[in-house]
Chains A and B, each alone.
Chain A
Amino acid sequence: GAGVSQTPSNKVTEKGKYVELRCDPISGHTALYWYRQSLGQGPEFLIYFQGTGAADDSGLPNDRFFAVRPEGSVSTLKIQRTERGDSAVYLCASSQFAWGLNTEAFFGQGTRLTVV
């Protein structure tokens, strides 16, 4: 597609439920990033994929959070036993190579997750 696509755009779930958030990166982009943006805060890094593998998952807050990218394109962020504190906008970005000095990352519009 023309840009990074995230689905759903909005998700409301009950506390304790399981959710999956999907990211379709720009075709051909090898690097994919997940960020979380809580209300009044800047985006916070969660995980970075290079191809199919998670090159850096140091930002995942706990073991309830998991992400996959099995074919090196679409990625799914999975949250188990959701808590109200998980409510945030989850952002996905992709770049042709690793995000750095000369490689720009492109962001999707995000998925707004609300846990009630």
Chain B
Amino acid sequence: GNSVTQMEGPVTLSEEAFLTINCTYTATGYPSLFWYVQYPGEGLQLLLKATKADDKGSNKGFEATYRKETTSFHLEKGSVQVSDSAVYFCASYSGGYQKVTFGIGTKLQVIP
């Protein structure tokens, strides 16, 4: 089956700092990759996705590139805001399993 490994948090950054949250995956075949975000008091939401190698997913200033050679899908944002404070989950999906496998989540705290 699939597995996803992401860096443990918490990550604390000052506003306007550059963000990277690392994520690597193992899978048979070529999975689709996702980043989900959970804001305080809310449910998980899809942030971005990439379905094949070299695809770049982007949303709300966040980006992640599907790197087959390094089996990675690192999340980046050039300038974080306080409102980005949340828990971020890397996840993978392979057709046939009909379910998504999540990483442990990385808590991001952005301070003014």
Binding site for B on A (CB under 8 A): 3-4, 33, 35, 40-45, 48, 55-56, 59, 91, 93, 98-101, 104-110
The distance from the CB of B39 to the nearest CB of chain A, in whole angstroms, is 11
Q: Quote the shortest CB–CB distance from B107 to chain A (angstroms).
A: 10
Are the C-beta atoms of B103 and A42 separated by less than 8 Å?
yes
Q: How many A-B residue pairs have CB under 8 A?
A: 56
Least CB distance, A49 to chain B, in whole angstroms: 11
In the complex, what's the smallest C-beta–C-beta distance from A50 to chain B, in angstroms? 8
Q: CA separation between A33 and B51, bound complex, in Å?
A: 21
* Pairwise interchain contact B98-A48, C-beta atoms closer than 8 A: yes
B1-29: CB near A (< 8 Å → 1, else 0) gives: 00010000000000000000000000000
Contact A99 B98 (CB under 8 A): yes
B46, B89, B99: residue with the most chain A Cβ atoms closer than 10 Å: B99
A100–B91 alpha-carbon span in the complex (Å): 12
Q: List 28 A-B contacts (CB under 8 A).
A: A3-B43, A33-B99, A40-B104, A41-B104, A42-B89, A42-B102, A42-B105, A44-B102, A45-B99, A45-B101, A56-B98, A56-B99, A59-B99, A91-B43, A98-B98, A99-B93, A99-B99, A100-B95, A101-B51, A101-B93, A104-B46, A105-B46, A105-B100, A106-B43, A107-B43, A108-B43, A109-B41, A110-B43
